[in-house]
């Protein structure tokens, strides 16, 4: 018997990033084309560049030679990965796993699952600085390779720490963004 019935699964639930937004860039802003997806909650600098955030998937000791990074961060071989003021250039990247990328890097500091690292300008043992200084939080999803986009940019908000895509070191540079 044909009943013409179809089951359609619901779309995945979008994570909540913003609890309260109290300041935005008037008229939005242009975010430069990116080779990877930019989800809501990524830091953007004043010139429209995405600030990379590498979320650690598994604990790694200070003497580890590789770190597992959650997919979608845009990590590339040669990126300078930093925690605090220590930054080290990555030398290789393994993207074969569906859930994480393995980055060959000897960071020299222990990292825990859930830690968020940032992309630094140059390798340094004690004075790493971010490649891009964060100013805004992206308010809309931007798919990879979709060109420069005019989007909502937030510069004052309470955000959820578990869903934001910004390293703690970068949040410290954004005084009006509070991670709860």
Alpha helices in 30-179 (DSSP H): 168-171
According to DSSP, the β-strands at 153-159 and 177-179 are parallel
Q: Residue for token digits 């308010």?
A: 139
* Confidence band of 1 (pLDDT split at 50, 70, 90): low
* Confidence band of 7 (pLDDT split at 50, 70, 90): confident
Amino acid 3: pLDDT: 75
Amino acid 5: pLDDT: 78
Q: Name the percent of the chain lying above pLDDT 70.
A: 99
Average pLDDT over residues 105-123: 92
CATH class of 18-51+132-180: mainly beta
Beta partners for residue 131, in sequence order: none
Q: With 90 as the cut, is the pLDDT of residue 9 above it?
A: no
Amino acid 6: pLDDT: 82
Amino acid 53: pLDDT: 94
DSSP 8-state code for residue 91: -
Q: With 70 as the cut, is the pLDDT of residue 137 above it?
A: yes
* Whole-number Å distance between alpha carbons of 153 and 41: 10
Average pLDDT over residues 131-155: 95
Q: What are the sequence ranges of the domains in the chain?
A: 18-51+132-180, 53-130
**Residues shown for the chain:** 180
Q: With 90 as the cut, is the pLDDT of residue 11 above it?
A: no
Residues in contact with 102: Cβ distance below 8 Å, sequence separation at least 6, in sequence order: 66, 67, 68, 69, 93, 94
* Whole-number Å distance between alpha carbons of 2 and 9: 21
pTM of the model: 0.88
* Phi and psi angles of residue 53, each rounded to the nearest 5 degrees, phi first: -130, 125
Between residues 98 and 5, which one has the greater pLDDT? 98
Mean pLDDT of the chain: 92
Average pLDDT over residues 27-54: 95
């Amino acid at each position: 018997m044909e009943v013409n019935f179809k089951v359609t699964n619901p779309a995945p639930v979008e994570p909540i990033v913003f609890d309260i937004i109290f300041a935005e860039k008037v008229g939005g802003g242009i975010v430069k084309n990116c080779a990877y997806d930019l989800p809501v909650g990524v830091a953007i600098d004043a010139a429209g560049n995405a600030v990379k955030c590498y979320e650690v998937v598994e604990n790694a000791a200070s003497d580890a030679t590789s770190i597992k990074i959650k997919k979608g961060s845009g990590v590339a071989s040669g990126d300078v990965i930093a925690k605090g003021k220590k930054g080290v250039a990555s030398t290789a990247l393994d993207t074969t796993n569906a859930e994480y990328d393995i980055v060959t890097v000897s960071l020299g500091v222990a990292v825990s699952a859930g830690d968020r690292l940032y992309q630094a300008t140059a390798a340094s043992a004690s004075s790493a600085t971010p490649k891009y200084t964060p100013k805004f939080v992206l308010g809309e999803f931007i798919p990879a390779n979709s060109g420069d986009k005019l989007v909502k940019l937030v510069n004052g908000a309470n955000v959820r720490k578990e869903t934001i895509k910004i390293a703690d070191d970068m949040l410290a540079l954004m005084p009006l963004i509070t991670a709860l």
